[in-house]
Chains A and B, each alone.
Chain A
Amino acid sequence: DAKTTQPPSMDCAEGRAANLPCNHSTISGNEYVYWYRQIHSQGPQYIIHGLKNNETNEMASLIITEDRKSSTLILPHATLRDTAVYYCIVRVVTGANNLFFGTGTRLTVIP
């Protein structure tokens, strides 16, 4: 699975959009981009995933660049409950489907 690079930490004001970047310059054509988050050592929670096109769901939006070498997770209106570690993962959807978690980005939403 491709390696990802994320900033170790970010702050965001409550009510503002949080934009979390991820670089995955060695991504292969059959690898998807997944985002998970982990709140205070609870089990990780799935947020969103995509292959090529931008995706949106009730939690967030995922913007993938045309060359697929980077992506951005957008939380449109951050709340204090969004404070968590956010993981960007790229993987093929075959075999064991293992998730390789890196160190992620610790997002702190500030009142």
Chain B
Amino acid sequence: EADIYQTPRYLVIGTGKKITLECSQTMGHDKMYWYQQDPGMELHLIHYSYGVNSTEKGDLSSESTVSRIRTEHFPLTLESARPSHTSQYLCASSDPTGLREQYFGPGTRLTVT
């Protein structure tokens, strides 16, 4: 079983609030990813990281930001939440070779009212 965790699992928050979605993995993976998925729709990559102090934007433009200060931790932050940010956010990690699979966390379902 993969050891990748996301908190909170569900979050309902008002417009304008700052939020941080947590993602941690205990597998020592260098590569980590954030995906966004609207209900019934495709997953879209919004951020990824090759390792500590490395962050890159993904294919889908996002107002969120990420940081990678520790290998095991890859938090995503929204400075001012808006209703358009309502979605599911999925974190994943993979080993350095990239040949093996990406392991996904259970996701955070965010609702901004």
Residues of A near any B CB (own CB < 8 A): 32, 34, 36, 41-46, 49, 93-104
Contact = CB atoms under 8 A, between A and B. Distances in A.
7 contacts: A46-B102, A46-B103, A95-B98, A96-B31, A96-B50, A99-B33, A101-B35
B101 A46 contact: yes
Grouping DSSP codes into helix (H, G, I), strand (E, B) and loop, the B interface class, with mixed when no group exceeds half, is strand
A101 B56 CA distance: 18
Interface of B: 31, 33, 35, 37, 39, 42-45, 48, 50, 56, 58-59, 88, 90, 92, 94, 97-99, 101-107, 109
Grouping DSSP codes into helix (H, G, I), strand (E, B) and loop, the A interface class, with mixed when no group exceeds half, is loop
Contacts of B105: 43
Given A96-B31, A96-B56, A97-B31, A44 B90 contact: yes
Given A43-B105, A43-B107, A46-B102, A101 B42 contact: yes
A43 B99 contact: no
Contacts of B59: 98, 100
Contacts of A41: 37, 39, 88, 107, 109
Contact of B94 (A32, A49, A94, A97): A97
